[in-house]
Amino acid sequence: MIAVTGATGFVGFHLLRALEKRAKEVRCLVRSSSPRRARLKISSAQVCEVDFEKKEDLRRAFKGCDTVIHILGLINGTEEALRRVNIDITKNVVEAARCEGAGRFIFVSSVAAIRRHGSYGETKFQAEEIVKLSGLPYIIFRPAYIYGEGDENNTGLMIRTLKKFPLIPLLGGGSFRLQPVFIDDVISLLMQSVDRPVPNKIYNVAGLRQIALKEMLIFLAAGLHLKRFFIPIPLKPVQAVLRVYVQIFKNTRLPAKQILELDKHEAFDISQTSRDFVFNPVEFKEGVAKMFESCAV
């Protein structure tokens, strides 16, 4: 039996479909208040309602489960909320999995843990440390920007913006670079990790190459059959103002650190991932074509 947290989210739901195609027995842990719980009605997976802050609930859910795949996480929110979801709940999940004798713990983290950008990156890094020190056999995946059908946040926001506005302002002209990875390539790694020996390693999960945000938007606009124009906004003056702003408003919820580091474009090394797994991520243009094709079905 495979237990999955975060099964109603973007990555989790794609994983659930893949596991079911392979006839794997799956138990999904969900909150009673989950707004996407209805998604699971079309699934044959067991649904176990839990309070992630109660270890007894988690232990009950993990009974008989050899593998735990922990995807649940929070990207945006207050520092308190990020710590509660990304650190405290991860600790509860790990302890319950260990108590119930899980033989494999797969954790979906983020490349943000490498650079520890802001509270999100810091909490993901601390969550990784909890997994590493747990004594459980583990695999940690650090995805970069994931895109694909069903993404309501990252790519979904881009698509909604492209549909709504013919003129789009871009900080720094959209020259800052991302290393997007297609959802199918992420799911392939997770599926492989269910059956392979557990190496107790951390793997970066990103595309083959970096791509500028403006180029990404152009590919998405083409997929939508839209012609859009982009207005560059100089980055340096915005960063200068922001440096002063954060000194005055130290508890700001603006993504200050991310904006201040937009001109740093270090690529993520995926060589270890490609050596240990079958991992040949598609180019962004190809992934976008597949995304729009699946949306049209």
* C-alpha to C-alpha distance for 81 and 73, rounded to whole angstroms: 10
Q: What per-residue confidence (pLDDT) applies to 125?
A: 96
Residue that wins the pLDDT comparison between 229 and 46? 229
Q: What per-residue confidence (pLDDT) applies to 271?
A: 96
Model pTM greater than 0.75? yes
End-to-end CA distance of the chain: 31
Q: What per-residue confidence (pLDDT) applies to 256?
A: 64
How much is the average pLDDT of 90-111? 95
Which domains are seen in the chain, by residue range? 2-143 (3.40.50.720)
**Residue among 222, 141, 215 at smallest CA distance from 183:** 141
- Half-sphere exposure (CA, 13 Å, Cβ side) for 196? 16
Q: What per-residue confidence (pLDDT) applies to 297?
A: 47
Average pLDDT, the chain: 89
Confidence of residue 278 (pLDDT cuts 50, 70, 90): very high
Min mean pLDDT across 21-30, 90-99, 206-215, 278-287 is at 21-30
Confidence of residue 150 (pLDDT cuts 50, 70, 90): confident
Q: What per-residue confidence (pLDDT) applies to 58?
A: 95
How much is the average pLDDT of 34-47? 74
The four Cα atoms 79, 30, 26, 12 give a dihedral, to 10 degrees, of -50
Q: What per-residue confidence (pLDDT) applies to 250?
A: 63
